[in-house]
Chains A and B, each alone.
Chain A
Amino acid sequence: MSRKSISLYLIIASISFLSGCWSQKELNELAIISATSIDKNEEGQYVKTIQLINPSNVAGGLQGGGGGQSPAVTVYSVTGDSVLEAHFNASSKISRKLYHAHANLIVFSEEVAQEDGIEDVLDAFERDPEIRPTARVVIAHNTKAGDLLKSLTAVDKIPAEKVNGTLEFTEQYRGTNLEVTLQDVIKTLTSEGKEPVISGFSIKGDIEQGKKMDNILKSEQDTTLETDGLAIFKEGKLIDWYQEDMAKGVIWILDKIKQTDVELDRDGKKNAIVYNVIRQKTEVSADTKHDMPTITINVRAEGDIREVRTSINLKDPKVILELEKELEEKIKKLLEDTVMRTQQNKTDIFGFGEEVHRSNPEKWKKLKSDWNDNYFSNLNVEVKVEAFVRRSGLRTNSYFSEMKDK
């Protein structure tokens, strides 16, 4: 090796040291954010609330020590005229570099969503390279968004994780909520013929009590975070909240139901038979032959009978067929009610417009300017439901039948 090449190597090597530590940051010098929220105060300024993870109070193990003694998260609230300004103002309160990459939850207050519309604040989140587009978005219902982050939770020590976990499981088992990510919201906001829906979350109990460590030391928490309805948007602004069955109907039409329950009345007994949907497929199609398009919703549901409170002969195929008919009616009614209310709200959260666009792009051009207010609300929506009872759990006939025979 010649003298020249050696010196070349040395120069290259020293360059790497000169630039050293560029953007380097140790993990323990970061303030790991688990959730952020945006509120508005009386002066019209944005209030950004940041939920920081206290690593030593979360992790177990030898060094954890303090875990359980002090809260797993610390919350700071900062104000600013813009979201970014609020973000920078946070540095006056926090000793570490704010790190967004692990934040999985973004909460917007009802106020911001109703008055300004979420599109006013979303850009700051989408533009930031650190914020994940897969972070979940929720709307704080009947409470300030910041307060939602301040309440401590048991089991999942980090409240953001508790919120995300709750959303995931209510979507899977109850079908009344929806996990919506940042990119989903932006996608539906920008797409023609579809409006966003976002899950709501609220605090049950006293907010001040929820901030205290005492709250999670009890077997029954005084203050808990709960899913609370589905926020319906129109042109980026929150206009309505759907609860329970209404919310279920929305999620059903969006084909996001994974598992849910349908109750039937029988022999004068309310909710005597409970049907558990375990598989379903919902297809929306548009017929654009006439001036006013017709939307057809095809539902095919499969499930089990999981609860019987009356004597019914489940061994009889005729009875099963009867039940299936009743189920179809019940589901049909649920979906029709949902569509009707949404048509009154004049916001196409189901994406019927997209369907029209897909089947007849030419016609859509004429309809799209006045879609929500005129056409959507007057659409003919036909709901077709096929329901199948596949199994009946570990039993066929309930002991009710045996008691009756005696």
Chain B
Amino acid sequence: MFSFLKWKKKKKNSDNQQEKSPIQSTDKLSNNIETSLTLNLEVIKQRTGNSTDFVIRPVNLGQHPKVKTTIVYIKGLVDNQTVNDFLIEAMITNPTLQEQITQQEVVDMIVKDVVAVGGIKKLSDWDELFTELMSGNTIIFIEGISVALSVSTQGGERRSIQESTTNVSIRGSKEAFTESIGTNIAMVRRIINTPDLWIESMKIGKMTKTDVSIMYINGIARNEIIEEVRKRLKKIDIDGVLESGFIEQLIEDQTNTTFPTIHHTDRPDGVAGNLLEGRIAIFVNGTPFVLIVPALFIDFFQSPEDYYERFDISSAIRLLRTIIFFISLIGPAVYIAATTFQQEMIPTKLAIIIANQRESVPFPAFIEALIMEITFEILREAGIRMPKAIGSTISIVGALVIGQAAIQAGIVSPVMVIVVSMTAIASFATPSYAVAISARLVRFIFMFSAATFGFYGMILVFIILVVHLSSLRSFGVPYMTPLAPFIREEAEDTIVRRPLWGYKKRPKMISGRNKVKQGENQKPNPPQPRTMTNSANEKGD
């Protein structure tokens, strides 16, 4: 079935190779930077097709004879203030450069005395030069020398740090990641101030050359998993990485599943918490969503906030989420099974009410449920894709047409609308969109099974689902850990949560050498109220 896809892939590869060759042929002389300034500028113009956003600014240094230099940068990628004040102005006005100097001395002088910018680097290689240029650095060419200087001037317009819109929290840090990988990494560094927070960077994507960094805490993360992440990332050979989803789909363990085996979040505190458990974060430039591996099924039902609230409240909320997940999974299926197969399960009075409402409905319950579910999915999709300005139309059309007219026309029964609405609300309340979306798909399978075999069919599908989930793995860790394989201490942090002082160890299957999370006797042990008042009285006397 997939054989034609393979063939397509091969063709793609050969296309790439053909594309590559003409570029290399233009670079016929060598990969090294020339001594001639005009020749170098010519190469740049040729390689970039004379793109208009390249700024080429000649600057002359020294008096007799003048040393010709040229500054090259890309408009918008650089911080204009840095380039103007600390580079161009410094070079023009710097007194040391007013004297007579040789071309050879200029390089060292610029590096040491002139440029008032932190990062500066000597380049002699065109590939390296273009990478620097594209990432927003400024290049200085000097006449007569086969070395170019790269000055770190990255900047330009970027979205500032804002509150997360996808993972909203009531308590806890409000900031969310931005599209800039540097900012994102710094945000995590600000939370975890240990030198053991290690970062490895690489560029992925032949064309986009996207910055990808993996972050982990040395000693807490398991070396085998780090090695596996490195290996899988290195294997990626793709033209572009536009979002972390590209990386996710190329490195996940199992592709034949609707369930996500890689977690993603846009909250720095979420990433920090996961790093402390020994997980590995993968940052991708250009997206606020950071990948976290390995991910377990139960992780998708948890929110960083669970640990900020006290354990009893968090436990109640987690139980609620479990119920919510089941409602969003089997809500309509239960309705179908109960009304078409196991009517004896419905209390008599409810059965009469449903029978009355269904009296005029022309479709079987399954078709009715399918119509409503699909209508709802259409509404939801429209709500997401529609321009915000006309967004309110959707709610009016949805509420009036579906809620009122369809019921009054007798096409669907009010009970069905209640069931579908409950399911919809439940699927919105699942903390992870990735799991909510897979529950949406699996829901239809449950509906089919309920329509063919009733509750018996639902149980069958449920068994298959559990078997499937248990067979999944995320970077070698069984997906259903700590429920299957069952790990007692960790299972207490699944659908309920232990008090914070009860967490002595990090997750067994995920973390590396350093397993101890906190010291002994972390349970608060305040003095008894009686002794406290007594001592206060004694002091007073």
Q: Footprint of B on A, CB under 8 Å?
A: 1, 3, 6, 16-17, 19-28, 30, 32, 34, 53, 55-56, 58-59, 61-64, 99, 101-102, 104, 130, 132
A22 to B453, CA, bound (A): 7
**Distance, CA A2 to CA B346, complexed state (A):** 44
Among residues of A, the one whose C-beta sits closest to the C-beta of B354 is: A27
Interface: B449 (CB within 8 A): yes
Q: Mark B381-420, 1 if CB is under 8 A from A, else 0.
A: 0000000000000000000000000011010001000000
Q: A26-B365, A28-B355, A32-B352 are in contact. Are A63 and B360 (CB under 8 A)?
A: yes
What are 10 residue pairs bridging A and B, where the CB atoms are less than 8 Å apart in the complex?
A: A1-B1, A24-B364, A24-B451, A26-B340, A26-B365, A27-B354, A28-B358, A53-B352, A63-B410, A101-B344
A56-B356, A61-B414, A101-B343 as given contacts; A28 in contact with B361, CB under 8 Å:
yes
Question: Are A20 and B452 neighbours in the complex by a CB distance under 8 Å?
Answer: yes
CB-contacts of B321-361 with A (<8 A): 339-341, 343-344, 346, 348, 351-361
Chain B nearest CB: distance from A55 CB in Å? 4
CB contacts (< 8 Å) of A55 on chain B: these are 352-353, 355-356, 359
A58 contacts B356, CB within 8 Å? yes
| Cβ distance A84 to chain B, nearest Cβ, rounded Å | 20
Minimum CB–CB distance from B136 to chain A (whole Å) comes to: 45
B interface, CB within 8 angstroms of A: 1, 256, 339-341, 343-344, 346, 348, 351-361, 364-365, 407-408, 410, 414, 448-449, 451-454, 457
Which residue of A3, A25, A26, A63 is within 8 Å of B357 (Cβ)?
Answer: A63
Are A16 and B449 in contact, with the CB atoms below 8 A? Answer: yes
Instruction: Give Cα distance in the complex from A278 to B365, angstroms.
Output: 49
Which of B353, B354, B453 is within 8 Å of A16, CB to CB? B453
Residues of B close to A53: CB separation below 8 A: 352, 355
Is B1 in contact with A26, judged by CB distance below 8 angstroms? no
CA distance in complex: A63, B355 (Å): 11
* Min CB–CB distance B335 → chain A (angstroms): 10
Give CA–CA (A134, B359) in the complex, Å.
Answer: 28
Q: Which residues of A contact B344 (CB under 8 A)?
A: 101-102, 130, 132
Chain A residue with minimal CB distance to B457?
A: A16
A56 B452 Cβ-Cβ under 8 A:
no
Asked if A24 contacts B341 (CB within 8 A), the reply is yes
Q: Are B414 and A27 in contact (CB under 8 A)?
A: no
- Majority SS at the chain B contact face: helix
Contact (Cβ within 8 A) B452 A21: yes
CA separation between A19 and B414, bound complex, in Å? 30
Q: Is the CB of B340 within 8 A of A28?
A: no
Q: Of A1, A16, A17, A61, which is in contact with the most chain B CB atoms at under 10 Å from its CB?
A: A16
In the assembled complex, the CB of B396 is this many whole angstroms from the nearest CB of chain A, namely 21
Least CB distance, B201 to chain A, in whole angstroms = 36
Q: Which chain B residue has the least Cβ–Cβ distance from A1?
A: B256
In angstroms, Cα B356 to Cα A3, docked, is: 48
Closest chain B residue to A99, Cβ basis: B343
Closest chain B residue to A102, Cβ basis = B348
Note all chain A residues with C-beta closer than 8 A to B408: 62
- Complex Cα spacing A148 to B457, Å: 41
Query: How far apart sit A101 and B358, CA to CA, in the bound complex (Å)?
Result: 19
Is there an interface contact between A32 and B351, defined as CB atoms closer than 8 Å? yes
Q: Which residues of A contact B414 (CB under 8 A)?
A: 61-63
Most buried by B among A1, A3, A63, A99: A63
A6 to B364, CA, bound (A): 30
Chain A neighbourhood of B339, CB < 8 A: 26-27
Do B359 and A19 have beta carbons less than 8 Å apart?
A: no
B364 touches A27 (CB 8 A): no
Contact of A63 among B340, B341, B359, B454 (CB under 8 A): B359
CB-CB under 8 A from A24, the residues of chain B are 340-341, 364, 451, 454
Q: 10 shortest A-B CB distances, which residue pairs?
A: A101-B344, A55-B356, A55-B355, A28-B358, A59-B356, A27-B339, A102-B348, A59-B353, A27-B355, A55-B352
Residues of B within 8 A of A25 (CB): 340-341, 343
Q: List the A residue with the shortest CB-CB distance to B410.
A: A63
Contact of A56 with B359 in the complex, beta carbons under 8 Å: yes
Contact yes or no, B355 A32, CB < 8 A: yes
Query: Given the complex, which residues of A lie within 8 Å of B357, measured CB to CB?
Result: 59, 61, 63
Q: Are B356 and A64 in contact (CB under 8 A)?
A: yes
Residue on A nearest B348 in the bound complex, by CB: A102
**A58 proximity list for chain B (CB < 8 A):** 352, 356
Enumerate chain A residues within 8 angstroms of B407, measured Cβ to Cβ. 62
Enumerate chain A residues within 8 angstroms of B356, measured Cβ to Cβ.
55-56, 58-59, 61, 63-64
Q: How far is the CA of A64 from the CA of B353 in the complex (A)?
A: 9
Residue of A nearest to B256 (CB): A1
Given A1-B1, A24-B364, 9 other A-B residues pairs in contact with their CB atoms under 8 A: A20-B452, A26-B365, A27-B365, A32-B351, A32-B352, A59-B357, A102-B344, A102-B351, A130-B344
Chain A residues whose CB sits within 8 angstroms of the CB of B364 once the complex forms: 24, 26
Q: How far is the CA of A28 from the CA of B415 in the complex (A)?
A: 13
CB nearest neighbor in A for B344: A101
Chain A residues in 8 Å Cβ range of B451: 20, 24
Q: Which residues of A contact B340 (CB under 8 A)?
A: 24-27
A6 to chain B minimum Cβ distance, whole angstroms, is 6
CA distance A34 to B454 in the complex (A): 24
CA distance A59 to B414 in the complex (A): 13
Chain B residues whose C-beta falls within 8 Å of the C-beta of A20 in the assembled complex:
451-452
CB distance from B368 to the nearest CB of A (A): 10
- Residues of chain A within 8 A (CB-CB) of B453 are 16, 22
Q: Which residues of B contact A22 (CB under 8 A)?
A: 452-453
Contact assessment for A6 and B1 in the assembled complex, using a CB-CB cutoff below 8 Å: yes
Nearest B residue (CB) for A104: B348
CA distance A3 to B364 in the complex (A): 35
A28 to B449 CA separation, bound complex (whole angstroms): 21
Contacts of A28 in B (CB 8 A): 355, 358-359, 361
Complex formed: what's the CA distance from A252 to B337 in Å? 45
Return the contact of A27 from the options B358, B452, B454 (Cβ within 8 A): B358
Q: How far is the CA of A238 from the CA of B485 in the complex (A)?
A: 63
Question: Assuming the A-B contacts A27-B351, A27-B365, A59-B352, are A3 and B343 also in contact, with contact meaning beta carbons closer than 8 angstroms in the complex?
Answer: no
Q: Which chain A residues border B410 with CB–CB below 8 Å?
A: 63
Cα-based distance from A16 to B448 in the complex (angstroms): 9
A19, closest chain B residue (CB): B452
- Alpha-carbon distance A54/B453, docked complex (angstroms): 28
The CA-CA distance from A53 to B353 in the complex, in Å, is: 11
Measured in the bound complex, the distance between the Cα atoms of B360 and A132 in whole Å is: 29
Complex-state Cα separation, A338 to B448, whole angstroms: 61
Question: Known interface pairs A19-B452, A61-B414, A101-B343. Does A26 touch B351 (Cβ–Cβ under 8 Å)?
Answer: no
| Contact B1 A30, beta carbon cutoff 8 Å | no
A94 to B: closest C-beta gap in Å: 15
Docked Cα-Cα span, A20 to B348, in Å, equals: 27
Complex: A123 Cα to B399 Cα, angstroms: 53
Instruction: Note all chain A residues with C-beta closer than 8 A to B358.
Output: 26-28
Residues of B within 8 Å of A64, CB to CB, are 356
Bound complex: CA A34 to CA B452 (Å): 28
Chain B residues with CB under 8 Å of A63's CB are 356-357, 359-360, 410, 414
Complex alpha-carbon distance, A98 and B407, angstroms:
28
Residue of B nearest to A31 (CB): B355
Q: Which residue of B lies closest to A53 (CB)?
A: B352
When distances are taken between beta carbons in the complex, the residues of chain A under 8 Å from B348 are 32, 34, 102, 104
A-side contacts of B351, CB under 8 Å: 27, 32, 102
Closest residue of chain B to A13 (Cβ to Cβ) is: B448
Nearest A residue to B408, CB-CB: A62
Nearest residue in B to A157 (C-beta to C-beta)? B352
* Contact call B341/A23, Cβ cutoff below 8 A: yes
Q: How far is the CA of A55 from the CA of B348 in the complex (A)?
A: 11
Q: How far is the CA of A58 from the CA of B341 in the complex (A)?
A: 23
| CB atoms of A16 and B359 under 8 A apart | no
Which residues of chain B are near A19, meaning CB under 8 Å? 452
Tell me how far the C-beta of B255 lies from the nearest C-beta in chain A, rounded to whole angstroms. 10
CA distance A25 to B338 in the complex (A): 10
